[in-house]
């Protein structure tokens, strides 16, 4: 073999070696990406399984509470948030919130005296918290099954004429987020009322043992800052045994114009559970409902 052929053979050998090295690097990189994908998916599945198990934990907690107590209040075990619990490669946390501590938006669909009282409370809350005060009629029209347009409401014709045409549900809301397409409701106003409103069957009462100050202020007349603080402090010392007990222990100068849609026991609870596995975070949100003589049921559940 002459010198030129030997040089060509060396160059060819170097090219083959370089190609083999490039292939090896590519294969290794692909394996690394595949491995990371598998690990991420594994962590995702594990995190989602953990949050769903957390919802089942909440069901058991509420079932146990129902057997122990005839009233629901903020000193019970279910009301204590689950702090971050370390797990292998992650952690889990969660909490249960009384859905009946909030004003039920579906009550706007009621007619008669009960509907008037609900509207007054919700209107007060909207005004105090920056909610969509001009949308009360539109929310009610979205809920009711008729085609009659209330004074400031909206029915099929309004929604059909929007840039993205639609129709009102003519049914109760299932989640507060469903208020988003209602006439006059903005993202900002919806965020303002979400912590204080719920979407439950229309006749569901508000639990005065768990209602936050913002909600109690819509229920009780004459509650200034000082009286409201006194009411909350009294409740923390001794939960109300009945609505009559609640009325009798109101601070001097405060009054309850109606006991309509009030209670000291709850059947509906919101649950939020978060779990982290590696760099993956999963969250479950659910509405749980207790019924006498039956296990606590999942009304709806979202896993993200």
Note down the domain range covering 2: 1-30
> Residues of the chain whose pLDDT is less than 50?
34
Is 23 within a domain?
yes
Is 12 within a domain?
yes
Tell me, what's the pLDDT at 39?
67
Is 26 within a domain?
yes
Is 17 within a domain?
yes
Calculate the alpha carbon distances from 155 to 143, 146, 152, 189, 247 in Å.
10, 9, 10, 21, 39
Is 201 within a domain?
no
Tell me, what's the pLDDT at 245?
98
Is 24 within a domain?
yes
Is 94 within a domain?
no
The three-class DSSP label of residue 299 is strand
**How many domains in the chain?**
1
* Bridge partners of residue 297, in order along the sequence: 289
Is 11 within a domain?
yes
| 296/267 Cα distance (integer angstroms) | 9
pLDDT digits (tens, 9 = 90+) for 221-259: 999 999 999 999 999 999 999 999 999 999 999 999 999
Q: pTM above 0.75?
A: yes
* Bridge partners of residue 300, in order along the sequence: 287
Helices (H), 87-219: 113-129, 136-143, 156-160, 187-193, 213-219
């Amino acid at each position: 073999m002459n010198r030129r052929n030997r040089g060509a053979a060396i160059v060819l050998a170097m090219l083959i070696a370089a190609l083999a090295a490039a292939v090896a690097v590519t294969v290794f990189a692909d394996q690394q990406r595949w491995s990371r994908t598998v690990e991420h998916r594994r962590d995702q599945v594990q995190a989602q399984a953990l949050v769903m198990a957390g919802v089942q934990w909440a069901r058991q907690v509420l079932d146990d509470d129902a057997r122990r107590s005839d009233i629901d209040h903020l000193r019970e075990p279910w009301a204590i948030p689950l702090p971050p619990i370390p797990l292998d490669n992650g952690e889990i946390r969660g909490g249960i919130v009384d859905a009946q501590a909030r004003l039920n938006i579906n009550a706007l669909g009621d007619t008669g005296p009960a509907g008037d009282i609900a509207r007054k409370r919700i209107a007060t809350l909207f005004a105090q918290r920056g909610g969509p005060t001009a949308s009360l009629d539109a929310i009610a029209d979205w809920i009711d099954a008729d085609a009659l347009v209330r004074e400031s409401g909206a029915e099929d014709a309004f929604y059909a004429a929007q840039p993205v045409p639609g129709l009102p549900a003519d049914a109760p809301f299932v989640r507060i987020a469903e208020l988003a397409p209602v006439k006059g409701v903005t993202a900002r106003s919806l965020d303002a009322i979400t912590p204080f409103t719920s979407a439950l069957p229309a006749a569901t009462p508000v639990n005065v043992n768990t209602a936050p100050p913002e909600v109690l202020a819509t229920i009780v007349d004459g509650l200034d800052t000082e009286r409201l603080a006194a009411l909350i402090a009294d409740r923390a010392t001794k939960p109300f045994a009945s609505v009559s007990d609640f009325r009798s222990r109101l601070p001097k100068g405060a009054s309850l114009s109606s006991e309509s849609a009030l209670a000291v026991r709850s059947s509906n609870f919101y649950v939020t559970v978060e779990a982290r596995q590696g760099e993956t975070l999963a969250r479950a949100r659910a509405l749980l409902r207790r019924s006498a003589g039956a296990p606590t049921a999942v009304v709806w559940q979202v896993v993200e």
